[in-house]
Structure 1
């Protein structure tokens, strides 16, 4: 079982993060939800008995270690972290007005740099606890298959997956497991800012892949997160046909190369 007893969810104010908070809370486990929208956190806390919350923006790297350390002091029993917070922007480098250095930096920091810093702060806490602990990255099929529509999102998710492989290898044989969960296209707020442009660019709503309903995704994700592979936690979990194909292709192509470098990731 990947989800232990005291679960910190990074990015829980909507979509997958909020959905996981509801499902895990319903199992009677302690959930701490974080996010940058206080009104969403307050609403979730009013809905879910016993929910802990913490309001901060993980893209603010200067204060991030302090925020995570404070959470471990307030909730010393944290044994699971789900790193879900993401930004997905759609723009073209051929049009410099469609983005900015600040927007690019924020997307990279949110999707990749912040999870690294969170792990740098949390892993020693997990190791010191000596009890089974889990790190779960919410990744993407675009970690394996880059697309020009999302020129920053895909590379950051590829980086997150690569980081997960390295971290898993570093922590092999310890009490901490590292799992990468790659969803397909799920119906959330992630693409709210560019959904209409995407439909227009692809030539109509019938040309856009149909998203998986959130509750359907959560059903599948919770089932996978409650299971094991050969008695051990899976390194990677794919929810949906496209992520399954992408993960399988990556493992078949790169797995033998990892063995050459003795990477147990």
Structure 2
């Protein structure tokens, strides 16, 4: 299975991250939940006995490596990281007032740059453990399917998927595996945040896709994360019809090129 025994969840204060924390905690595993909203972490701690937490914002790149290193020192048995934290903004480049250079930079840093720094800090820790370890990125269907609604979010998730392929190739033959988990449209706070604007842009609620209930997504995700292929965790997991179509199309198109370049990703 992808999820081992001591699990660090980056971005666990709501939605998918909090849902995974609850599911994994229910399996009796040690969970360390992180997030930038202390009140959410406190609420989760009150709900889940024995849960460990750490409060920091991964968009603060100057302190990120130190925060991650501190966790590996405090919890030396961390063998799984689920990187879930992300920002999803909806704006238009035709309206410069709908965003700012600072907003764009923060979204890129949170969704992509921070993930790389987290891995740069955690990979040596995992390799030193000399036992099976897992890196799980919570990606998105928009890693494969660009849309006009989220002009920064989609490209950052595409970059995260590409990074995952490269990292997986670097770690081939080691004790560390990399899994990319791409959800479809899931019913979370992000859905509530953007639903009205998306309805307006698409011209009516009947044209807006219906989100997958969070519980249904978590059922499928946990099942897929427990599934092994040739004795190893899956490299890529796409939950939902459209994400799986997109994942298969990407693999069919790019897979042969990866082989030519000897990329075991």
1:25 maps to what in 2?
Answer: 25
Which is worse superposed, 214-223 or 192-201? 192-201
The reply on whether 1:127 has 2:111 as its aligned counterpart is no
Contact 2:5 2:79 in 1 (8 A): yes
CA distance in 1, matches of 2:194, 2:144: 22
RMSD between superposed Cα atoms in Å = 0.7
Q: Residue 62 of structure 2 aligns with which residue?
A: 62
Offset at 1:27?
0.2
Which residue number in structure 1 is paired with residue 43 of structure 2? 43
Q: Distance in 2 between matches of 1:101 and 1:262?
A: 38
Structure 1 unpaired stretches of 5+: none
Determine the C-alpha separation between the residues in 1 that align with 2:135 and 2:115.
Answer: 10
Q: Which residue of structure 2 lines up, in the alignment, with residue 257 of structure 1?
A: 257
Match of residue 224 from structure 1: 224
TM-score (norm 2): 0.99
Taking the aligned partners of 2:74 and 2:198, their CA distance within structure 1 comes to: 42
1:139 matched residue in structure 2: 139
1:125-146 Cα offsets, whole Å, 9 max, x none, are: 0000101100000001110111
Q: Is the 8 A contact 1:238 1:244 kept in 2?
A: yes
* 1:88 aligned partner: 88
Residue 202 of structure 1 and its aligned partner are, at CA, apart by 1.0
Q: How far apart, CA to CA, are the structure 1 residues paired with 2:137 and 2:79?
A: 14
2:55 and 2:212 mapped to 1: Cα distance? Answer: 29
SS at match of 1:63: helix
Matched, 1:187 2:187: yes
Q: Do the aligned partners of 2:226 and 2:233 also contact (CA within 8 Å) in 1?
A: no
Q: Given that residues 88 and 191 in structure 1 are in contact (C-alpha distance below 8 angstroms), is that contact kept between their aligned partners in structure 2? A: no
Contact 2:143–2:154 (CA<8 Å) still a contact in 1? yes
Task: Compute the displacement of 1:189 (Å).
Answer: 1.2
Contact 2:35/2:54 (CA < 8 Å) preserved in 1?
A: yes
- Counterpart CA distance in 1 for 2:229 and 2:176 is 16
Aligned to 2:205: 205
Unmatched 5+ stretches in structure 2: none
Q: Give the superposition deviation at 1:234.
A: 1.1
Aligned to 2:170: 170
Distance 2:190 2:174 in 1: 34
Q: 1:230 Cα shift?
A: 3.0
After superposing on structure 2, the runs of 4+ consecutive aligned residues of structure 1 that deviate more than 4 Å are none
Cα deviation code 1:157-211 (max 9, x no counterpart): 0000000000000000000000000011000112443221111111222210000
Q: Which region of structure 1 is more displaced relative to structure 2, 87-96 or 19-28?
A: 87-96
Between the two proteins, the alignment pairs up a number of residues equal to 265
The equivalent residue for 2:8 is 8
Question: 3-state SS of the aligned residue for 2:166?
Answer: helix
Specify the SS of the correspondent of 1:194.
helix
In the alignment, the residues of structure 2 paired with residue 123 and residue 191 of structure 1 have an alpha-carbon distance, to the nearest angstrom, of 33
